[in-house]
Each structure stands twice: as structure tokens, then as C-alpha cells.
Structure 1
Amino acid sequence: MTKIGIIISSLRENSNSQKIANNLLTLLEGKADAKVIDIKALPLYNQDLDKEGETPESYTTFRNEVKSVNKLIVISAEYNRAMTGALKNALDVGSRPYGKNVFSGKKFMVIGHTPGALGAFGAVSDTRKVLNFLNGIPMNQPEVYLSAIHTLFDEKSVFVPATLQFISDVSLPPYFCIRVVNPYHYT
């Protein structure tokens, strides 16, 4: 069974990123071995800390979690038209020490979300750019942009039917497509 790691870019409890991840975990149940790879405990990357025998345990745990999966789904909130600082830090931690980049050869897709109308294009672009540089293998399609994210869940934080169908279409089949989802238009 394919092992999928889900990286959540937001550190906030009950964030929209967490809600998306929870829905993905339910959707992938029985189809893939999916788990969340936590980035909350990662201190800011500092090469001075990353020495043989002195590496923070959280760095090692994160790197091992990424190594243990075949594919990554990165859920990227957009902060000021860019990826979150927490996500950038996680990518930096995983890329080090030099020559031991855990993202190299790892297949990935990015799901961007924002309460605004542009669907987190900046965050997705930044995330893909860094993972491409780190020799990750992008799933070029889909590029998933979830606009007006607060409208795409019901009162129990479950995707509304149109969002559920869209996410099922892009995250389950072996091929993917590019679409923008917002509450006003779904194709």
C-alpha cells in the first residue's frame, strides 16, 4: 500500500490546513497508508545545532518520518502571498545536512488554501519551487487551489459535497487535473 505523508503548514490548532488533512485522512482510508508528519516541534533550522550527536531529536524524527513515506501531500496556507514560515523551516530541516536531503526523489503534490480569492497561488508556487530545487518529483497536475476556504466545510469541518468530490477527483486517481475551487464556481 502506498505510504503518504501529509505536511500541514499551519501551526494553529483547528486550522483550515488541519481540517483539510483530516478530510484527506478519511478520504484515503483503506486506499493508502496516510499519516500527518508533524512540523510543530521543529525549532528554527540552525546548522550549529545540526552536528553529529547533537542534532535536535525533532529534526531526526521529522527526517525519518519523511523518509518513511513514498509520497507527500503538502497543505500550504498562504501568509502574505507566500508559504508559511513553519513550512519553509520544515523544508530547510529536511534538506540538511548537506547530501542527506530527505525530499530528493520524493513525489509530492501541494494543496494551497486561503480565505481570499486567489487560491493561495503564491504559497503553492513557493512550495513547489523549493521542493523542485530539493529534487522532489512534483505531480505537475494537480495544482490545487482552494479559495474562500472557510466556505468549503460544513459545521462539523467536513468538506461540503462539491469540495469532497473535487478533492476525491484530484487525490485518488493515478492522474490529476488542475482546477480552482471557490464557493461561486465549480467545474
Structure 2
Amino acid sequence: MTTLLTISGSLRAGSFNRKLLTEAVDLFGPADRIDADLNLPLYDGDLEDRDGLPAAVIHLADQIAAADAVIIASPEYNKAITGVLKNALDWISRDKRGVLKDKPVAVMSANAGRTGGETGQYMLRSCLVPLQARVLAGPGVMIANAAKEFETGRLENERYLKTLGELMDRLRAEAS
């Protein structure tokens, strides 16, 4: 069975991006789901020099290494990637195994604004380049006005679900 690692760029338990990840995994089909925890210390080179990689970072890197594919859903904060997600990528870049190298990754976003997190998603894709992740080119999943779209707790917009399903079909093909 395929192992999917889901990464939310929002720490909030009820975040729209966590809900989007649930929809994505449902559309992916049978898979073992692992949820990453981005509650990590801020990257600090002095801390790394003194103590090495923190246990929480090693755990996250191990989860990435064990996954067949990764799904990242993140809001956009002030036209950029979220701080917790950028911090996690900075820490992961320090793991000498290169755990994201050639790993299939699907990127998506749910945001309050009308662009659905497009700029943050573009920046996230740029941040994944040096990690050599195999980021799927599309289709783009950017859920605009997320509060309305997840009003019932689930994504019910057929157009968004169709696009998300197509992205998950591509991820499934890449993960096998």
C-alpha cells in the first residue's frame, strides 16, 4: 500500500489546509496516511552545530524518507510561504540524506483571499527546487475563499474536487 505524508503549512488544528489534505487523501484512494508535525524549533545554525539536528527534525526527515509521496497544503501569509513551512524546509535541507530528492510532491493551497494562495504556492515550489523534490507541475489546486468552500467542513465545489482528483491521479501514478 502507498504511504502518503501530508504536510500542512498551518499549525491550526481546524485549518482549511488540513481539511484540504483530508479531501486529497480521500481522492487519492487506499493509502497509509502519515501527518507531519511542523512544531519545530526555529532553525538556528548555532543550535545545529552544538546539538546536531533536533529529534523532531530527524523524525520529520524519517517520515519523508519512508513516504512514497508527499502532499503539501499551505495557506499564503502576506504573499509568501508560511513561516512554519519555510522553517521545516530549512531544517530538512540540513539532513544529509536528501530525503526529498526525487520524491513525488503535490502542492496545493486553501486561502481566504480570491487567488487561493497562488503566490505562496509559487514561492513554495521555488523553495523545493534546491531540495530536488519531484514537484508535480499541475493541475493547480488553489481554493479561494476557503471559509465559504469549507463551510460544511468538507469541500463540495465540484470544479475544485475534479481538479484535486486529477492532481491525486497524477500523484498516484508518480508514487507507484
Q: Give the structure-2-normalised TM-score.
A: 0.86
How big is the shift at 1:144? 1.6
How big is the shift at 1:54? 4.4
Name which of 144, 155, 159 aligns with 1:159: 155
**Correspondence for 2:27:** 27
Label 1:68 to 1:172 Cα distance change in 2 as closer, same or farther (>3 A): same
Where in structure 1 are there 5+ consecutive unaligned residues? 177-187
Residue identity in the other structure for 2:35: V
Give yes or no for contact 1:109–1:143 (8 Å, CA) kept in 2.
no
Runs of 4+ in structure 1 displaced over 6 angstroms?
Answer: none
How big is the shift at 1:94? 0.8
How big is the shift at 1:133? 2.0
Does residue 116 of the first structure (1) align with residue 113 of the second (2)? yes
**Correspondence for 1:180:** none
Q: State how far apart, in whole Å, the 2-side matches of 1:70 and 1:107 are.
A: 8
Name which of 141, 144, 156 aligns with 1:144: 141
Deviation per CA, 1:98-141, whole angstroms, max 9, x where unpaired?
Answer: x4332111111110221111121111111100112211111112
Label 1:64 to 1:51 Cα distance change in 2 as closer, same or farther (>3 A): farther
What percentage of residue pairs aligned between the two structures are identical?
Answer: 27
**Correspondence for 2:36:** 37
Q: State how far apart, in whole Å, the 2-side matches of 1:151 and 1:93 are.
A: 34
Local SS of the residue matching 1:19: helix
Residue identity in the other structure for 1:55: L
Give yes or no for contact 2:107–2:121 (8 Å, CA) kept in 1.
yes
Residue identity in the other structure for 1:36: D
The structure whose residues are more often helix, as a share, is 2
Q: State how far apart, in whole Å, the 2-side matches of 1:102 and 1:170 are.
A: 22
Residue identity in the other structure for 2:73: I
1:10-159 matches, cutoff 5 A? 10-30=10-30, 32-39=31-38, 41-51=39-49, 54-97=52-95, 99-155=96-152, 157-159=153-155
Q: State how far apart, in whole Å, the 1-side matches of 2:40 and 2:172 are.
A: 33
Give yes or no for contact 2:139–2:163 (8 Å, CA) kept in 1.
no
Q: State how far apart, in whole Å, the 1-side matches of 2:50 and 2:25 are.
A: 35
Q: State how far apart, in whole Å, the 2-side matches of 1:152 and 1:81 are.
A: 21
Give yes or no for contact 2:155–2:161 (8 Å, CA) kept in 1.
yes
Number of residues of Structure 1 aligned to a counterpart in Structure 2: 172
Give yes or no for contact 2:141–2:163 (8 Å, CA) kept in 1.
no
